[in-house]
Chains A and B, each alone.
Chain A
Amino acid sequence: DTAVSQTPKYLVTQMGNDKSIKCEQNLGHDTMYWYKQDSKKFLKIMFSYNNKELIINETVPNRFSPKSPDKAHLNLHINSLELGDSAVYFCASSPDRVSNTEAFFGQGTRLTVV
């Protein structure tokens, strides 16, 4: 059973398109995250939701909009894709917002904008 699953695993699309990445966790966790890993392997937090409520929104372009229909899902919608959006996007979840809890990661979605 996959704990945190993302779809699709690979996404190749043209500039200007709109795309979505889906994330689901079956761990019963309250908190979910989106991270972006660039070509230099830097991992940067984008968003965090706790029980469907947005709690972290880093400096991310408005073209990125997260949506959490329920606490088991956190989807990422990206409008007007740009070349610089090419990266690996990781979804993660943790039991709650308490500091010492572990985050569980999805396998990543490799987005390539051409």
Chain B
Amino acid sequence: AQRVTQPEKLLSVFKGAPVELKCNYSYSGSPELFWYVQYSRQRLQLLLRHISRESIKGFTADLNKGETSFHLKKPFAQEEDSAMYYCAPKGGTASKLTFGTGTRLQVTL
């Protein structure tokens, strides 16, 4: 069965502290992996995708196929990073985009 796990519902960090949002997946085939972000009162938007290997807003994510993980990291959290973050694999015969349960990141002063 296809499954995405984000173990933390809420992650609270101080400004300037490192951030790691965990994501583990169980998926048939080789899905593409994405992170989407939803800022307060805004629409869901793409943060980054593993295929592009780029850093967006200081965030990076490394795909570990052995551990089937795609953790999102940022060395120094900023207040504006406070949002809901969703890990999302996409794959299968219909290229279904599935979302994890989401992690709310709260960055405090």
Q: Are B101 and A56 in contact, CB atoms less than 8 angstroms apart? A: no
Q: Which residue of B lies closest to A102 (CB)?
A: B46
Q: Are A42 and B46 in contact, CB atoms less than 8 angstroms apart? A: no
Q: Given contacts A100-B51, A105-B43, are A43 and B31 in contact (CB under 8 A)?
A: no
Residues of A within 8 A of B81 (CB): none
Q: Are B94 and A106 in contact, CB atoms less than 8 angstroms apart? A: no
* Contact of B95 (CB < 8 Å), options: A42, A99, A104, A107: A99
Q: How far is the CB of B89 from chain A (nearest CB, A)?
A: 9
- The interface size of chain A toward B, counting residues with CB under 8 Å, comes to 27
Against A, the Cβ 8 Å flags (1 = close, 0 = not) of B11-54 are 00000000000000000000110100000001111100101000
Q: Are A102 and B49 in contact, CB atoms less than 8 angstroms apart? A: yes
Q: Which residue of A lies closest to B104 (CB)?
A: A41
In the assembly, what is the distance between CA of A33 and CA of B98, in Å? 11
- The interface size of chain B toward A, counting residues with CB under 8 Å, comes to 23
In the assembly, what is the distance between CA of A94 and CA of B97, in Å? 10
* Contact of A43 (CB < 8 Å), options: B32, B86, B91, B94: B86
Interface residue SS majority, chain A: strand
* Contact of A102 (CB < 8 Å), options: B34, B42, B84: B34
Q: Which residue of A lies closest to B38 (CB)?
A: A41
Q: Are A56 and B102 in contact, CB atoms less than 8 angstroms apart? A: no
* Contact of B49 (CB < 8 Å), options: A100, A105, A106: A100
Q: Given contacts A41-B102, A42-B101, A42-B102, are A105 and B44 in contact (CB under 8 A)?
A: yes
Q: How far is the CB of B70 from chain A (nearest CB, A)?
A: 14
Interface residues of A (CB under 8 A from B): 4, 31, 33, 35, 40-45, 48, 55-56, 90, 92, 94, 97-100, 102-108
- 24 A-B residue pairings within 8 Å (CB atoms): A42-B99, A42-B101, A42-B102, A43-B44, A43-B86, A45-B97, A45-B98, A56-B96, A90-B43, A92-B44, A92-B97, A94-B97, A99-B31, A99-B90, A99-B91, A99-B95, A100-B32, A100-B49, A100-B90, A102-B34, A103-B97, A104-B45, A105-B43, A108-B43
